[in-house]
Structure 1
């Protein structure tokens, strides 16, 4: 049995800017065991990415196996480890532990309309949901995507907007809190856009991810728009350290976000977070 604390060795094959202070890191796993472990990871799962000699940080996997045999991570520069990862160049070795956690129940969502609401780098774990739905388009109903950020230079995956907007039975809406001289799109909070778009709860599932304060108000508005707690899904990002439910850093009551999550329905969250 392999040691779950030992990372698989990978090589950076691409490093590119996604937004201000956010880079996409693409990793090729070098050994067969690593490739086998990540052969069928699911939307919503995460992995630890390590800069050797510095440390490791958990990130939501930002793609799907069907889209790329290599792993993709959206990394915001916010601390020591993420700064070290930002400083790496193509060809550098990295460590990867995973895949970990549960996933969005895409099979259960079949036949349902999907409403995706993401803010900032919180859109990274939602991108695999969109990719999966587009790659299995006949399995899902209408797809509504709401993308938001504080400013235009903080929107991630903008180069994919055209693919999303042009997909069958799909609509894309984008907003920023504050525009600039180049921005011609919608300006306002994501909840203002959400109120304007007014997604229907009929036969629908809503999935949201972003800053905690954004998730709070998006969920509140979804409920006002008629979505039941069982129809709302999100990901919780606690201070995960081990990823195995051993260290206790991410526990909420009897739950460990790293193993019981990070994906939860709002109905599940209400069982252990009264004020969410």
Structure 2
């Protein structure tokens, strides 16, 4: 079922590969990154449309997660870093595939237990170079390997189900979890097969009712899947390559959506006026706030 909700450009800056959005309700601030340009963006939603404040980073970062009022966790090409919000100071928290210069971090979400699921992939999206890890404190456990572009990491409201996708394969998977730890309790199963569809499933966020909202890269839309594995809603967006949503706003009733112009030539960008811009989509449902990452296991 198609729908046309209220959508506006939150920030006019264009991201080469916008990703990893996060929302801080205490300050009503949106955060996101541009992976390929080593940039972190900050924008209080109360200020309306951007431009956002841009922070240059010394590495490629792919995901922003809260720790507490003063610090956030950045997933980067060689590990996880603690960033002090006040002055931008960075310190390595734990390495992640630091020995492999051919990979970088990609999609990530914090589980309700406070553990992080974070994926890696080849810098040139080489087949089978990617993996998904569970990080509890500094304890890193590889969960799934042999993936190409791992994405769509999200969790059911009760933390008992995890979701992920290999965008290259196109199959959204679900896996039963221990809700106390976020560790798998069984093997993954197919949740929805999108392998023959237009565009690829990218980042995901789960709403308060358990619907899984995914960005469809190359499809200019968001899709919502039920916990039973049915696609129940599709929302068109004004950018061809949406990458990752997260719920934002005082009522958590809007989706902050990053986009990208990666791989688009000049003609493709001209045909896609909002390419790379960050959007705010009023989808009319209430979402969930991503939990804070727990520094201790």
TM-score by length of 2: 0.28
Larger Rg: 1
Q: Normalized per residue, which structure has more helix? A: 1
TM-score by length of 1: 0.30
Q: Which has the higher contact order (CA 8 A, sep 6+)?
A: 2
Q: Normalized per residue, which structure has more strand? A: 2
